[in-house]
Amino acid sequence: MAKPGPKSKPKPPAPSARCEMPKFRIVVDVGHTPDSYGALSARNDPEFGFNFRLGTLITAKLRDQGFAATRLLVTDGKARPSLFKRVSAANDGRADLLLSIHHDSVPDKLLETWEFDGAMSYFSDRFSGYSLFVSERNSHFATSLLLARMIGRQLKEQGLHYASQYTLPVMGRYRRQLLDKDLGVYRYDGLVVLSRTRSAAVLLEAGSIINRDEEMAMNSLERQEMIAGAVAAAMGEFCVRR
């Protein structure tokens, strides 16, 4: 992208064109809403709460690191309208990056039952790991992919593995193309928050909460700090490179 000459009148940068940490506007989007809470964990805790806790920590880490313009986006109401509220919030706030935070489950047909806290509950221990999604329909696809890879690399360096099941037939309509076989970045073109946002956009499934062991890990501050630190390190690296 062309840079203005030294004497030219300063123009506002195109979104995602460059990165000055204090001005770079990251919107940390908490996936789902209190009413439409997403997946239910193996111990019957709603995904929204996991997303909110991790999103809050990621926002704090990014601000501590110098990304002062980072904001946490919490949306209410029903599922579908909430997606467009997120896109509007990011676009109206002239975001440079939308980072949507989620926790993973499995298709219903893979669920098994167990008793937790005296109640019949659902789980699947078959899959685990984080995953990252980007949309080719996003106008900053290349930047989104670069960012997703940087986050994936940091997560991998922490010893975490990615969820490899999205390429399998068993995933049915959730099946995705794997764009980075080393770092766990998938293509998810149709997702509203990724495709309609005018900034770069990445969705992070931080881990599986339907997997009984991984749910416990995702509940631990240690794992939350590890993931938030990895995201902050990736963003710092991104800004240095720009």
Q: Which stretch binds Zn ion (CB under 5 A): 35-43, 164-172, 213-221, 227-235?
A: 35-43
Residue with smaller CB distance to Zn ion, 15 or 38: 38
Q: Which stretch binds Zn ion (CB under 5 A): 38-46, 89-97, 122-130, 227-235?
A: 38-46
Q: Torsions phi, psi of 201, nearest 5?
A: -150, 135
In one-letter notation, the amino acid at residue 87 is V
Q: Which stretch binds Zn ion (CB under 5 A): 61-69, 72-80, 99-107, 113-121?
A: 99-107
Residue with smaller CB distance to Zn ion, 31 or 207: 31
Number of continuous H segments (helices) and E segments (strands) in the chain: 6, 9
Q: What is the dihedral of CA 139, 239, 60, 89, to 10 degrees?
A: -20
Label residues 121-150 b or e (16+ Cβ within 10 Å = b): bbbbbebbbbbbbbbeebbbbebbbbbbbb
Task: Rule CB under 5 A: say whether 86 interacts with Zn ion.
Answer: no
Site for Zn ion in 12-31 (CB under 5 A): 31
CB atoms within 10 A of CB 241: 9
Residue nearest to Zn ion (CB): 102
Q: Torsions phi, psi of 241, nearest 5?
A: -75, -25
* Given 38, 129, 184, 207, the residue binding Zn ion (CB under 5 A): 38
Closest approach, Cβ 83 to Zn ion, in A, equals 11
Residues that bind Zn ion (CB under 5 A): 31, 38, 102
